[in-house]
Amino acid sequence: VKPWEVRAIQAGFGVDVSHQDRLRTPSRRYFLATLPWYLFLLVSPFVLGLVLCVLPRSAKFLLVPALLFLWSWMLIAATCLGAVEVVYRFLHPLSFTGIAGAAMLVETALSRTGRTPR
């Protein structure tokens, strides 16, 4: 809250909101607890890029991670370039691509060690 807004709120309602950023409200605690998830969502396009680097070029399903990679980067571009301000909820569609990319990495790692995923 800007200083002039603090003065206006205090004049209009008689409430001091100058230190509201230090309050540990339930919504703020929830948001801080979800930071690892938001980091995963931000990293998910890179996970799909890693999948494309790790998969052999003769892989039969190379088109799927390539399309997911392209879609996730288009979503990141639209979120960053098309939004007026940063809104983390716009990253939630990346959860599917991130989980799919992580599953592809695990499957590739297991197949290289000789274990087959069940």
pTM value is 0.64
Q: Is the dihedral of CA 25, 30, 36, 42 positive or negative?
A: negative
Q: What is the dihedral of CA 74, 79, 84, 88, to 10 degrees?
A: 180
44-76 pLDDT, tens digit each = 888 888 888 888 777 677 888 888 899 988 888
From the list 40, 90, 45, the residue with the least C-alpha distance to 66 is: 45
CA distances from 33 to 26, 28, 39, 86, 97 (A): 10, 9, 12, 18, 22
Residue 118 has pLDDT above 60, yes or no: no
Tokens for 89, please give them.
């909820």
